[in-house]
Structure 1
Amino acid sequence: MFITLDLESEEPIYTQLKHQIIAGIAKKELSPGEALPSVRSLASDLGINLHTVNKAYQQLKQEGFILIHRQKGVVINPDGVAKADDAYWTDLTVKLRPLIAEAVCRDVTKEDFQKLCSQIYTEFQPKE
């Protein structure tokens, strides 16, 4: 998996890193049980602070995307990511609400918003 970071973005680097790893899992570029680079190694490869990588890894661990073993290192959760439960749906609603509100304020139609969501969702579907 190739990671690219925008150091000029307003989005924090650890968030960009976290999102790219999640996208790699969603696109099946990263498989359950697959090893990720160590914190030091990835920080060195990307030219960023190791605390930044550690923060991304810790959040991914808390959300169930990765496991961190003392001997095995960092691996994609071999059991896969937990399926959406009520708490996930609540969190998703909280995250989407302001995005939809802003879209409405900018006269984005419901159809155009749904079309965009569908196009993005398609990026994560297996290629046939």
Structure 2
Amino acid sequence: MLIRIDLQSDVPLYLQLRNELVLAIAAGQLLPGQKLPSVRQLAGQLGVNAMTVQKSYNLLKAQGFVVTDRKRGTVVSSTPPSGQACCAQLQDDLALLAAQAGIGGLSQREFLQLCAQCYRSITQKPAGEGGDTPCSS
């Protein structure tokens, strides 16, 4: 699994890491029950502060993407987030993306086509097969 973070981005590192891990889970690169690297290990690999990785793991745990226990460490959740809380978060995220698309001049149809393309590129990949971005088709 390749995790890409951009040290020059305005997006905080912990959110970039969180997003990369969510994409890896969705693409089947990280499977339910699979152990994630320890905070120290991942921080060392990425060259970031351990607190940055810990903040990402805490956010993923709060959102239901991972679970942590003292014996196994942090693993991908076997029961992914769903229901009302998941839909509320998605609606908030999509509202922001729709606003950005509108400001950028995309029509509703173009925005929906882009959403569909991104969704297909994530959900139709065989497990273990990755891409550079979720919209790389």
**TM-score scaled to structure 2, two decimals?**
0.84
Instruction: Measure, in 2, the Cα distance between the counterparts of 1:28 and 1:80.
Output: 14
1:97 aligns with 2:95: yes
Q: Which runs of 4+ in 1 moved over 4 A?
A: none
Give per-residue Cα distances to partners, 1:60-88, cap 9 Å, x unaligned.
011111111112111111x23032x2232
Give per-residue Cα distances to partners, 1:75-118, cap 9 Å, x unaligned.
111x23032x2232222222222322332233211111011111
1:111 aligns with 2:109: yes
Aligned residues: 126
The secondary structure found in structure 2 opposite 1:36 is coil
Which shifted more, 14-23 or 103-112?
103-112
Instruction: Tell me by how many angstroms 1:44 deviates.
Output: 0.6
Instruction: Tell me by how many angstroms 1:122 deviates.
Output: 1.4
Instruction: Measure, in 2, the Cα distance between the counterparts of 1:45 and 1:110.
Output: 41
Specify the code of the residue in structure 1 equivalent to 2:28. Answer: K
Alignment partner, residue 81 of structure 1: 80
Alignment partner, residue 134 of structure 2: none
Query: Which of the two has higher C-alpha Rg?
Result: 1
- Tell me which of the two structures has the higher relative contact order, counting C-alpha pairs closer than 8 angstroms and 6 or more residues apart: 2
Alignment partner, residue 17 of structure 2: 17
Going from structure 1 to structure 2, the CA distance change for 1:127 and 1:97 (only over 3 Å counts) comes to: closer
5+ long unaligned stretches in structure 2: 127-137
Alignment partner, residue 39 of structure 1: 39
